[in-house]
Structure 1
Amino acid sequence: MVITPEMADLWLEHCNPETNRILSDTVYERYAKAMARGEWRTTHQGIAFDKEGKLLDGQHRLMAIKISGVSVEMLVIPGCNSETFDVLDSGHRRQAAQLLKIPHRVIVAAAARIIGQMYRMWDPVTLFDGFYDTKASTADILRAVAAWPELTTMAPIAAAAYRAAGINQPTHLVVLAQASRTEHADKIEDWANGLISGANMDQKDPRLVLRNRFFRDRVLLGTSAGRRTSYNLIAKSWNSWAQGKLLGTLKTLDGEGVIPVVGTEKFRPK
């Protein structure tokens, strides 16, 4: 059917659910320019609504029609199954981070890929360096975020520690989320204060040792390539802090595997 700018505006205003992903200016502006130039072609990709009339697919196309001021012919499909939403793959592929309407959604989604496979929330997994699931589905990632609300509540600490000392955000967040479920959860606030300020600490304070290690090697440890190493360093430092121990050196060893967070033994899968 031919969709006018007025129709597109109405559908976006009244039919677009809050659970839909965040609009990308770059994407709909590119579509709009093609429409304005008369280059847009009708294909099998169009607009889809669920059985309740809520928009499932096509909000970027509708926004492009609205701002271009051009009426465009598109396929419109009503009555779709809303459960297909997570696996739709349109012109601009849905990412879990785009569907999370929360602060720090990018690092939360990245952390969910790690903690989800660590706790065997899906099978099979495709691991990078035996640690990070590179192909977890959007549905799996969203499920992990729902199962671990601590990822959302702890994300501001991970973000602040990164700004202060370059500590890898997703791996730090995974450690914090697990620590939040242990008997050491009350020590997280002081842990965060020390990491962020870096002031008035003994040279063997685990927080200062961790800060210094990331300052020294932040080019590697702050990237995706150093996820497993950064996770183990953070977990070791946290474990020492949680147990009231000083830390002389902080390093990883070949073949040591993934370091468990102290106190998670009771709920970690065997």
Structure 2
Amino acid sequence: MNTATATATARKVKTPKWASDLGLDFSAYRPQVITVNREVAMALLALNTSNRQLSRTNVNTMVRQIEGGKYNTRTSNAIGISTEGALTDGQHRLNAIVETGVTMDLIIVTGCDKMAVLIPNAKPRSFSEYLRQHEISYATILAPMVKTLWMVDGPGARSADGKFQPSWDYGRSMNHITDAEFLDYLAANPIFQDYAKLGSALYSRIGKGLPARFLGAFCYFVDHHTDENGKRDREEFFDRLADGVGLEKGSPILAMRDVLAKRMEDGSDKFAVMQGKFIKAWNAYREGKKVTTLKFNPGGHHPDEMPAVK
């Protein structure tokens, strides 16, 4: 027996009785489907001696999914236990089971190498990759557009007391929202796909100065959250933004055309600046105000607040 094998063998621990009763053997590298209730989850968590720090955000997300009947256990992601009897993967799922009291069947792999957690695993699929995998058109536009609409039209646009408070501020984190939740939101609103197509068309028409995801989300918001003239005004706004026909000095559309031209020329303005200027141009157009220069500063000591779409 070589030194490495001897060291590994020496580190193995005896499988405790509760685990043996479930059919687990910590010394054997073996995947099994085990029914995990609150008591089993607590016993497994007692093995959590050297894992990474627990993320309450991840646990809360899983609790929300479990309680909503949205948590999918038919996955290749397993609960891991090393030959030393330490939990290597699954602490967030197990904590969620403890908190909800829901019993579920999970894959548990025993005999894991505890150092394997340091080896990079396969890159997780992005939301857009998932949509492409399911052959959904305009997936690369639709995926970020759905996330934008989540904040201006969906659950993210509602305050704790239920008030409608849409936010175009891309600085707000959505890391606690799962792709499954975004997918449910898209499934409930299939019309989003039409606006992703519209966003793609407008992106080409106005000179590619603003991303298609924003243009699609903006059009949906205007069509569904402004007054009865919103859609008509939106169509006229983009027509003139594209061709410049009949625009005179002081037209906010003309001012926005200048911004887009400069963006195409030197790429100076970042997206947040472009978005702020665009919304200000739209609002001025809707209010009949004259504008010659569009300014928006989202940074610094006195940043401008992202305007609401009128």
- TM-score, structure 1 as length reference: 0.53
The Cα shift of 1:135 comes to 6.4
Q: Which residue of 2 aligns with 1:176?
A: 219
Q: CA deviation at 1:213?
A: 0.5
Determine if contact 1:235/1:261 at 8 Å carries over to the other structure: yes
SS at match of 1:154: helix
**Contact 2:256–2:281 at 8 Å: present in 1 too?**
yes
How big is the shift at 1:216? Answer: 0.8
Aligned to 2:171: 130
Same amino acid, percent of matched pairs: 17
1:49-93 deviation digits (Å, cap 9, x = unpaired): xxxxxxxxxxxxxxxxxxxxxxxxxxxxxxxx9962898779563
User: Which residue among 55, 61, 72 is the counterpart of 1:84?
Assistant: 72
Whether the aligned pair in 1 keeps the contact of 2:209 and 2:263 (CA below 8 Å) is no
Q: What is the CA-CA distance between 1:180 and the residue it aligns to?
A: 0.9
Work out the CA distance in 2 between the residues paired with 1:112 and 1:255: 27
Q: Which of 173, 186, 203 matches 1:145?
A: 186
Q: Confirm or deny: 8 A CA contact 2:199 2:216 kept in the other structure.
A: yes
> Which of 133, 136, 139 is the aligned partner of 1:105?
139
- Higher Rg: 2
| Cα separation, partners in 2 of 1:120 and 1:252, compared to 1, 3 Å | same
Tell me if structure 1 keeps the 8 A contact 2:210–2:274.
yes
Select which of 227, 233, 241 maps to 1:195: 241
Q: Which residue of structure 2 lines up, in the alignment, with residue 260 of structure 1?
A: 308
Which portions of structure 1, spanning 4 or more consecutive aligned residues, are displaced by more than 4 angstroms?
85-92, 146-150
- Partner secondary structure for residue 139 of structure 1: helix
Distance 1:85 1:247, change over 3 A: farther
* Structure 1 Cα separation of the partners of residues 189 and 70 of structure 2: 24
Q: Point out where structure 2 has 5 or more consecutive residues left out of the alignment.
A: 1-29, 32-68, 78-120, 160-167
Give the distance between the partners of 1:112 and 1:247, measured in 2 at CA.
Answer: 32
Residues paired across the two proteins, number:
178
Query: What is the alpha-carbon distance in structure 2 between the residues aligned to residue 178 and residue 86 of structure 1?
Result: 36
Give the match for residue 240 of structure 1. Answer: 284
Distance in structure 1 (CA, Å) of the matches to 2:243 and 2:74? 40
Q: Structure 1 residues 173, 233: closer, same or farther in 2, change over 3 A?
A: farther
Match of 2:209 in 1: 167
The aligned runs of 1:209-248 (5 Å cut-off) are: 209-218=255-264, 219-221=267-269, 226-248=270-292
Which residue does 1:71 correspond to in 2?
A: none
Compared with structure 1, are the counterparts of its residues 134 and 194 closer, same or farther at alpha carbon in structure 2 (3 Å cutoff)?
farther
Change (3 A) 1:217 1:180: same
Question: 1:156 aligned to 2:197?
Answer: yes
Deviations 1:21-70 (A, max 9, x none): xxxxxxxxxxxxxxxxxxxxxx97xxxxxxxxxxxxxxxxxxxxxxxxxx
Unaligned runs of 5+ in 1: 1-42, 45-80, 263-270
Who is 2:293 aligned against? 249
Query: Deviation string for 1:145-185 (max 9, x for gaps)?
Result: 34555543333343233223223122233322211111122
TM-score (norm 2): 0.47
Q: Report the AA paired with residue 84 of structure 1.
A: N
User: 94, 110, 114: which one pairs with 2:125?
Assistant: 94
Distance in 1 between residues matched to 2:275 and 2:187, nearest whole Å: 22
Please say if residues 198 and 208 of structure 1, whose CA atoms lie closer than 8 Å, have aligned partners that are also in contact.
Answer: yes
Contact residue 187 and residue 242 of structure 1 kept, 8 A: yes
Task: Tell me the distance in 2 between the aligned counterparts of 1:180 and 1:229.
Answer: 23
Please, what is the CA RMSD of the aligned residues? 3.7
